[in-house]
Structure formats: structure tokens, C-alpha cells
């Protein structure tokens, strides 16, 4: 059953559309977004009421079909989250936690695992997207992973592939990385490539009520380019919990306990004895306030929003927000070329006081203004 999100008085994690004042008339209709990531899962937010997964390709098992997306394993988590953040329709949250491009089609390309994504494998994934862009109508590419080392775009095959994708009409969006708190906070390929929109992070508190920097990577690339170009929410982002995992079962139990009346609380605990040692330890005391204290602490510590969603952080999730804005723009004006999309996003972004310019680039992405500018731009 679909579940509503949490009370805003408890978490204040609001949908991205509200936090960025997006125009929800646009949903990426007719646009295909490709994703390069460690793995994927056919989440209901992408497959119901109809399946919007246009294709799946596994670099390491090229014959694998869409049925491979039904398996829950640790490598599925990250790509499932990035694709749903951009294009999920919120099927398991009654539409609440849906992405801005919630009617876009998606192409999912597995380029690694939860343990490792290799620089050259990202390049191989890019090559596959280029070879199949016309077949699947790919207009946007989200890359929420980074290479292993810094190299000039003049010689790095990954950066060159990203720039070629842009020349071929694909808007490439990449996470800047999360090293802004370190002395070595460089932006690595492919985000460092000239034509790639590198996305850094914003901490808006989950409700759009504050603006402070997230610890995203930033600075001059080896070629002297300033990155990132834009920032978007990179913390307090609602993302799906992988179905069929112990984390999913725990989240559902915690939310049921949180919402249960006192007279039903201990029946639930008894029915789920053994599921949580902390809850088992106090179940026999039959004191509701103790149970509620533990449940509240666990919901907070595990960042649970509902039985199906939690909040996550990282520029891995800021990038697909920008990719979803691009899909909205291309719905509004399919004739736009990548350089036009880039220009519009940068000129409509809002600079944010209190965040160093080198950390925010042109500022926070502004979906409504970007779509409006896209609508008014002719081909060229």
C-alpha cells in the first residue's frame, strides 16, 4: 500500500518540487534520461502504473535483460536511488516524493558495483550511451560517480567521451563529489570536463528554509576550469529504500509503531518479536512512552521518512535533481541543444549569500525560471 510521508513537524523533509519552487506542469514527458551507476533496481516508482525503463545494460553481463533489475543486492541501491530521485513518480508515497521528471523514460547502465567503479568503466558506459542514443532517444545523461584520478580533458578518454556526448546532443550532468571538507577537494572526471554540468551541493535544511554549503568538491580543474557550475540540494533528499532488504522491513515496522495507538503498540511488538533487540528489551515493561522514545530515536538515526523512503545525502543526489530539471526544459522546448541548456541553467541560477562563489558556481538551480527561459528560446 502507498504510504504518506512523515509529519513535517518531525522531519521537515519536503519534496524537491516544493523546496525549489518547480513548475509541476512539466514532468520530462517525451524525454529519456540515461544513468551510469553501480547497479539498479526496477523500483515501483519507475515501473507503475506502467514501466518507464526503456533499457538496461550491464557492462559485465551484456546479455542480462530487464529481469536482472528484479534482484535486490547491495549494488542496486545507489543507482536505484539516483534514478528515482530524478524520475520516480512517488508511487509508494502517494505521489509525495516524486522527482521533477516523473514521467520521463530512463535507460539504466551498470558500470560497476557497490565496492568499486573504475575510471575506464565509466568511459565504457558513456560509449554505450553514445552508440545507443538514437535507438532510445537519450537526451540527458546523469553520472553520479567519478573517476579515479585527475587528468586534462585533452588527454583523458573519459572526459573526451563526455564532451563527445555533448556534441552529439546529450546534456551530461555529473556529481561534483563530496570532498569539499578535505584539503584535496578537486573535481574529477567526468565532472571536470568542459561541457559537463558539474553539480555541487546545497544544504537547505530539508524544507528550503536555509541556504548553506554542503561539503561538495570544488575548485579549479587541472585545465583551469572552475567547477561546479551549479548547486542543488545534496542533503535531506528523499530516496527509496531497496525493497526486500532488512532495512526495508525495519523501516516499515518503525513507521507502523510510530503511527500505532497505545492500545495496539504492544500487539505489534509481540508480532515482530526478534526483529529489534532494543525493542525486545523493553516490550515486557508495557510502557508506551519508552517504546515511542526508542522508535523516535531509531527513525531519526536511520533517517526513515516512511516504510519505503529515507533521506540521503551526497552530490550523487544533487546531480539527478539537475538532470530532472533538464528533462523538464527539454519537454518545454525539445529543440534545445546542450549548450543552450547549459547557458539557461547558469544564467537563471540564483547566487546564494554566505556560500563562497567557488563552491556554488552560478548558484542554486532554479527549475521554474529555467523552464520558462527554455520555452522562450528558439533554435540556434
Catalytic residues: 37, 78, 316
Measuring CA to CA, which residue among 175, 191, 214 is closest to residue 355?
A: 214
CB 154 within 8 A of CB 225: no
Q: Residue 167 to residues 175, 195, 334, 339: CA-CA distances in angstroms? A: 20, 9, 16, 9
Tell which residue, 365, 331, 377, has the closest CA to residue 21: 365
Distance of CA 226 to the CA centre of its chain: 23
Locate 193 and state its grid cell: 570536463
Distances 222 to 16, 178, 217 between C-alpha atoms, Å:
33, 18, 14
Q: How far is it, in rounded angstroms, from Cα 377 to Cα 372?
A: 9
258, with CB counted inside 10 A (0-12, 13-18, 19+), is: buried
Euclidean distance between CA atoms 191 and 176, whole angstroms: 6
Strands, E assignment, 88-183 = 105-110, 138-143, 171-175
Distance CA 238, CA 240 (A): 7
Give DSSP secondary structure letters for 335-372.
Answer: T--HHHHHHHHHHH-B--TTS-HHHHTT-B--HHHHHH
275 Ramachandran zone, left/alpha/beta (phi>0; psi -120 to 50): alpha
> Interhelix angle for 315-332 vs 367-376, to 10°?
30
Amino acid at each position: 500500500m502507498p504510504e504518506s510521508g512523515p509529519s513535517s513537524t518531525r522531519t521537515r523533509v519536503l519534496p524537491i518540487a516544493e523546496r525549489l519552487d518547480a513548475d509541476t506542469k512539466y514532468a520530462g514527458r517525451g524525454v529519456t534520461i540515461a544513468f551510469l551507476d553501480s547497479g539498479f533496481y526496477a523500483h515501483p516508482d519507475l515501473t507503475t502504473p506502467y514501466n518507464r525503463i526503456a533499457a538496461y545494460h550491464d557492462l559485465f553481463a551484456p546479455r542480462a535483460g530487464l529481469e536482472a533489475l528484479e534482484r535486490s543486492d547491495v549494488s542496486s541501491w545507489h543507482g536505484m536511488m539516483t534514478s528515482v530521485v530524478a524520475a520516480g513518480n512517488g508511487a509508494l508515497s502517494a505521489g509525495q516524493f516524486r522527482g521533477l521528471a516523473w514521467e520521463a523514460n530512463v535507460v539504466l547502465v551498470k558500470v560497476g558495483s557497490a565496492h568499486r567503479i573504475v575510471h575506464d568503466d565509466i568511459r565504457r558506459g558513456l560509449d554505450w550511451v553514445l552508440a545507443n542514443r538514437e535507438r532510445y532517444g537519450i537526451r540527458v545523461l546523469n553520472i553520479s560517480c567519478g573517476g579515479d584520478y585527475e587528468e586534462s580533458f585533452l588527454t583523458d578518454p573519459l572526459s573526451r567521451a563526455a564532451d563527445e556526448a555533448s556534441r552529439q546532443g546529450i546534456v551530461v550532468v555529473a556529481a561534483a563529489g563530496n570532498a569539499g571538507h578535505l584539503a584535496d577537494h578537486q573535481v574529477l572526471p567526468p565532472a571536470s570536463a568542459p561541457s559537463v554540468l558539474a553539480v555541487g551541493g546545497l544544504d537547505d535544511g530539508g524544507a528550503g528554509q536555509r541556504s548553506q554549503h554542503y561539503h561538495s568538491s570544488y575548485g579549479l580543474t587541472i585545465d583551469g576550469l572552475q567547477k561546479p557550475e551549479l548547486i542543488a540540494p545534496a542533503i535531506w533528499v528523499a530516496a527509496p529504500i531497496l525493497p526486500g532488504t532488512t532495512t526495508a522491513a525495519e523501516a516499515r515496522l518503525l513507521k507502523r509503531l510510530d503511527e500505532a495507538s497505545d492500545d495496539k503498540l504492544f500487539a505489534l511488538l509481540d508480532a515482530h518479536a526478534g526483529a529489534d533487540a532494543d525493542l525486545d528489551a523493553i516490550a515486557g515493561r508495557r510502557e508506551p512512552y519508552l517504546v515511542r522514545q526508542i522508535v523516535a530515536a531509531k527513525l531519526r538515526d536511520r533517517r526513515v521518512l516512511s516504510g519505503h523512503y529515507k533521506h540521503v545525502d551526497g552530490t550523487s543526489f544533487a546531480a539527478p535533481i539537475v538532470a530532472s530539471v533538464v528533462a523538464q526544459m527539454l519537454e518545454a522546448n525539445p529543440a534545445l541543444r546542450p549548450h543552450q541548456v547549459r547557458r539557461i541553467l547558469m544564467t537563471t541560477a540564483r547566487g546564494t549569500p554566505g556560500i563562497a562563489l567557488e563552491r556554488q558556481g552560478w548558484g542554486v538551480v532554479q527549475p521554474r525560471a529555467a523552464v520558462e527561459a527554455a520555452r522562450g528560446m528558439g533554435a540556434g
